[in-house]
Chain A
Amino acid sequence: MSFVTGVGLTSYGKHDGLSSLDLMSKAAELAITDAGLKRSDIDGILCGYSTVSPHIMLATVFAEHFGIRPSYAHAVQVGGATGLAMTMLAHHLVDAGVAKHVLVVGGENRLTGQSRDASIQALAQVGHPDYEVTLGPTIPAYYGLVATRYMHEYGLTQEDLAEFAVLMRKHALTHPGAQFHDPITVADVMASKPVAMPLKLLDCCPVSDGGAACVISREPTGEQRVRVRGCAQAHTHQHVTAAPALSELGAEISIAKAKAASGIAIPDVRYAAVYDSFTITLAMLLEDLGLAGRGEAAARVRAGYFNRDGEMPLNTHGGLLSYGHCGVGGAMAHLVETHLQMTGRADNRQVRDASVALLHGDGGVLSSHVSMFLERVR
């Protein structure tokens, strides 16, 4: 058994002058305080990576910088799925008695620490060095390929995809820490600059500075009792060229295993936190996870199903698309928001009932998947 005992999140956007370690430290401090713990209580550290400041031992670099001497520490790398993968590992570590309180942290000055070109180029390297990267694709192009195929097979339109960007922006408007606070419309998304068709600028998450962290503990440390009910992963490929058919992608495999591990079914879920690097990512994952039927997710967005006051509130902080994406911390913001919702601390964004939540992360080009169910216990 394990509990998410504390969470911490910085605002996303520009943090001029702050390093990746600074942003990780800010988030870590917030999470440890939130858990009611002291630095010295932390005996395990898991951290992600920084494209701005790569290091072969980032967890120990961070531990020294932050002032902790843990008995267990290392970095984890599975792209956008890293945050949830670390949380899953922390869950198993505390459950196995390896550590008592594991700090999970991600943070990067990805926006101000390097040029946008450098960020785009660094991320394109998830492609095959000989057979893909030489062709000049970008991450949006990898997902653009998936998008044209998905639209072809299930009849989605670019306007359908735009709905997801509009929804995430609507949610971000109510969070002071979000990178974007200007409302957008479907027409704005359609008119935004083409990036890698069918994806346009507003179909893509931004590059951000930011940090996020959580503490996973064997026992609750206070009144907030959010328990990890079950989680699972699936890794079907790395490169989009080697991806299986759309009907055989990893999200369906990991959610099936997570359901079996937790005993939770989709109708039990009250809040959803789903990876949304691009509008197509969110559309596909919602349908793969069973939160909408095939080709029906956009209609559910239009009907208000995923609104704060809808049947399945989704990414109420604005997601990667509008809260922002700082790398490993990006999807950890989904976890932080879920925790705030589950503990009734989401202020003006608070949903009616977030007693059971489903979180899902994706790394690479729908390559690595982590599904996780959280449950509030009284």
Chain B
Amino acid sequence: MSGPIADWTKGSEAIVYQTCNGCGARQYFRRSFCAPCGSPDLAEHRASGAGTVYATSLVCRAATPETRAHVPYNIVLVDADEGFRMMAHGDNDLAIGDKVSARFTQFAGRLVPYFAKAK
């Protein structure tokens, strides 16, 4: 298994996914094994940040003082070009099917991935 690459969940400006050297599956939630086949033989990759919007929901009612400062903010599910799905923030006017690319921004004191329409 190639060493772990720090990603946005650890405060680094990267989106990381894993591929299985055994069965070829890919997964976004980091594990020490492949969820479909159980193999520990995984490779980690940095994603390009390119993808397609699968779903959106504009949050207008937040539940903490830190997140309330940001409303409204758009929660999006993006299908990355590399073949995995991820949750992120995005421009408020994104629509399903839009081609998007990722940058990073601060949200409630943390680094989060943020998608806008690809240029």
List the interface of chain A (C-beta within 8 A of B): 117, 120-121, 124, 128, 130-132, 134-138, 140-149, 152, 193-199, 239-242
Contact = CB atoms under 8 A, between A and B. Distances in A.
Contacts of B59: 136-138, 140-141, 144, 196
A152 B96 contact: yes
B86 A131 contact: yes
A240 B61 contact: no
A241 B61 contact: no
A132 B87 contact: yes
Interface in B72-98: 72-73, 75-77, 85-89, 96-97
A195 B60 contact: yes
A227 to B, nearest CB: 39
B96 to A, nearest CB: 5
A241 B87 contact: yes
Given A130-B9, A145-B77, A194 B61 contact: yes
A141 B107 contact: no
Given A131-B28, A131-B87, A241-B85, A148 B64 contact: no
A241 B77 contact: yes
Contacts of A145: 55-57, 75-77
A-side interface mostly: helix
Given A138-B63, A149-B77, 4 more contacts: A136-B66, A137-B59, A144-B75, A194-B72
A198 B29 CA distance: 27
A202 B103 CA distance: 35
Interface band, chain B: 20 to 34
B77 A117 contact: no
Contacts of A147: 57
Given A141-B75, A241-B28, A193 B60 contact: yes
B19 interface: no
7 contacts: A128-B87, A136-B62, A144-B56, A148-B56, A148-B57, A194-B58, A242-B85
A249 to B, nearest CB: 14
| Top 6 closest pairs, chain A to chain B, by CB | A144-B57, A120-B63, A136-B67, A194-B60, A197-B58, A149-B55
A66 B85 CA distance: 47
Interface in B5-43: 9, 28-29
B interface SS class? strand
Contacts of B63: 117, 120-121, 124, 138
Contacts of B112: 134-135
A148 B75 contact: no
Nearest to B70: A136
B98 to A, nearest CB: 12
B61 A138 contact: yes
A196 B58 contact: yes
B111 to A, nearest CB: 9
A137 B28 contact: no
B110 interface: yes
B1 interface: no
A117 B70 CA distance: 16
Given A134-B112, A241-B28, A141 B86 contact: no
Nearest to B56: A148
A132 B66 CA distance: 16
Centre residue among B55, B86, B88, B108 by max chain A CB count within 10 A: B55
B55 A146 contact: yes
B104 interface: no
A148 B61 contact: no
Contact of A136 (B9, B73, B76): B73
Given A131-B9, A136-B107, A145-B77, A196 B29 contact: no
Contacts of A137: 57, 59, 75, 87
Contacts of A141: 57, 59, 75
Nearest to A241: B87
Nearest to B96: A152
Nearest to B78: A241
Contact of B75 (A120, A135, A149): A135
A265 to B, nearest CB: 33
A360 B62 CA distance: 29
Nearest to A139: B63
B96 A148 contact: yes
Nearest to B107: A136
Contacts of B9: 130-131, 134
Interface string B47-60: 00000001111111
Contacts of B85: 241-242
Nearest to B57: A144
